[in-house]
Amino acid sequence: MRIRTAALVLVCVTGGMLHAQDPMSRIEQETANVTPAITQIRHQLHQNPELSNREEKTAALVADYLKKLGLDVQTGVAKHGVVALLKGGLPGPVVAVRADMDALPVTEATNLPFASKVRTTYLGQETGVMHACGHDIHTAVQLGVASVLTSMKATLPGTVKFIFQPAEEGPPPGEQGGASLMVKEGALQNPRPQAIFGLHAFSEMPVGEIGYSEGPALSAADTWEVKITGRQAHGARPELSIDPIVTAAQFVQALQTIRSRTFSGHEPGVVTIGTIHGGQRHNIIPAEVTLTGTIRTFRPEMSTLAEARLRAILKGVTEAAGASGEVVRYERGAPATINHDQLTRDSVPSLERAVGKAKVSRIPPAMGSEDFSFFANEVPGFYFRLGQIKPGTTTGDHHTPTFVADDGSIPVGIKTMSLLVVDYLSKKR
C-alpha cells in the first residue's frame, strides 16, 4: 500500500495527473482488493448481531479495524458509537459518512450459511436477533470505504469523518441513544463536516442499482399510546357497562379521517394502529383498552396537526361513549430525512459514474423512518438506496425473518460511496 501511494505521488509530481483528476480506476482497484476481506467481516457481523444500545462486540470490531488502518479513532460515543478521522494528504474540506450498526429482535429464517442463531430477551420476551434491515451491509461497506480512501490518503484533498452509529432502530424504553445522542455528544464537532452521506440497502432493488430522492426521502415517525377507560360488566349485560372495546373500535375508525379529511390529498401521511390490548375473557366487558400506533409525515407542521387531531378525536369519541380517554404518550421520533437539494444535484453524477446512468433512478419518498435525519438537520445531507437483491432471487421485506441482502451489494456500495466522497472533496477544495 505504501509503495502504491509513493508511486502515485511520483506520477503526480512528474506531471502524470490521471489518478488525481479521475480517481475511478484507483477506487475500482482498491474496492476489488478489499472486497473479499470486507465480505467476511459482513458474515461475521451477520452471525453475531446485537440490539440497539448493546453493540459492544460490533463496536469493538469496527474500532479495531479502523485503528489498524491508522485512523484517529474515538469510541464510546452515544454508548457504543465509533467516530474515526482520515486526514488526507492535501488541504480541503471535511465530509462525514455514516453507517448504522444495530440489529433487530427478529428470529432469522433464511438459508444463509452465516445466518444468525443468536437469541436474547427483549422487553420480557425471548426472541432471536437478526440483521433484518441491512445494517451489517452498511457497516461492512463503510469499513471498505475507509480502506479504499486510506489507500488514497496521499492525494485525498481534505478530511473524512467516519461515523458508526448505534441504536438507529431506537434505544430500548427508558434509554437514550442513536443519532440524536451522537449529535448531542459532539459527533459532528472537532472537526465539523460540511456535508454528510449515508446509504441504506433496499429490498426492492437489484444489486448494481442505486436509488435516490431529491428533497423528502424518508418520513418522520411519531409514536403514541392511548388508554380508554370504561366500566367493566358481564358480557351478557352490556347495558351495565361502558364498553371500552367498542369505543376503541370507533376511535380506530375515526383516526383514519386524519389522513383522509385533515390532510390535503397532495400531502403524504400514514396513520397506523399497531396494537390493541384489552380484556381477559370472552364473556367479560373489560374496564380499559390500550392502543399504540405511529403517524408518519414529511413536515413538522403536519405532525403537529396530526397530534392535535388525535387528541381531539379521542376526546370526542370517549365523551360520546361516557368513557374517558388519556394520551399516555405522544412522542416525536426521528424527523423526516430531507436530502439537501444542491448536494443531491451535485451527487447524482457521481452515482451515475459509479454504476452507470441507466442503473441510477430517482425514487419516490418512503414512509419508513431513519434517524440519519438528526445529522442531516445539522449539516447538508444526502442519503441514497443501495440495491441488494441478487438477480433471480427474492427477499423478504425489511424487518422480516426472510430478509436477505446479497454480498454482491458490498463492492457496489464501497465503490459508489468512495467515489461520492472523493468527488465531493475535489469539487469543494
In 3D space, the residue among 186, 137, 183, 194 whose CA is nearest the CA of residue 160 turns out to be 194
Please state, for a pLDDT cut of 70, what percent of the chain lies above it: 95
pLDDT single digits (tens) 149-182: 999 999 999 999 999 999 999 999 899 999 999 9
Alpha-carbon gap, residue 213 to 332, rounded angstroms: 23
- pLDDT in the model for residue 429: 86
Task: Please state, in angstroms and rounded to a whole number, the distance separating the CA atoms of residues 106 and 114.
Answer: 16
Q: Tens digit of pLDDT for each residue in 261-272?
A: 999 999 999 999
Burial of 234 (0-12, 13-18, 19+ CB in 10 A): exposed
Stretch 51-67: mean pLDDT, rounded? 98
Distances (CA, A) of 385 to 138, 361, 366, 413, 425: 11, 10, 11, 9, 21
pLDDT digit string, tens, across residues 393-425: 999 999 999 999 999 999 999 999 999 999 999
Determine the pLDDT at residue 428: 87
Percent of the chain at pLDDT exceeding 90: 94
Average pLDDT over residues 128-135: 98
Catalytic residue among 55, 168, 222, 346: 168
Instruction: Render pLDDT for 200-216 as a digit per residue (tens, 0 to 9).
Output: 999 999 999 999 999 99
In 3D space, the residue among 296, 363, 360 whose CA is nearest the CA of residue 333 turns out to be 296
Q: Is 108 a catalytic residue?
A: no
Q: What is the mean pLDDT of residues 236-246?
A: 98
For the chain, what's the residue count? 429
Q: What is the pLDDT of residue 134?
A: 98
- Catalytic residue, from 30, 55, 100, 102: name it: 102
The three grid cell numbers given for residue 308, joined into one nine-digit string: 392535535
pLDDT in tens, 61-98: 999 999 999 999 999 999 999 999 999 999 999 999 99
Quote the CA–CA distance of 120 and 132 in Å, as a whole number. 15
In this prediction, residues 117-143 reach a mean pLDDT of 97
Q: Is 102 a catalytic residue?
A: yes
Determine the pLDDT at residue 191: 98
Q: How confident is the model at residue 21 (pLDDT cuts 50, 70, 90)?
A: low
| Residue 13: pLDDT over 60 | no
Helix, coil or strand: residue 95: strand
pLDDT given for residue 182 in this prediction: 98
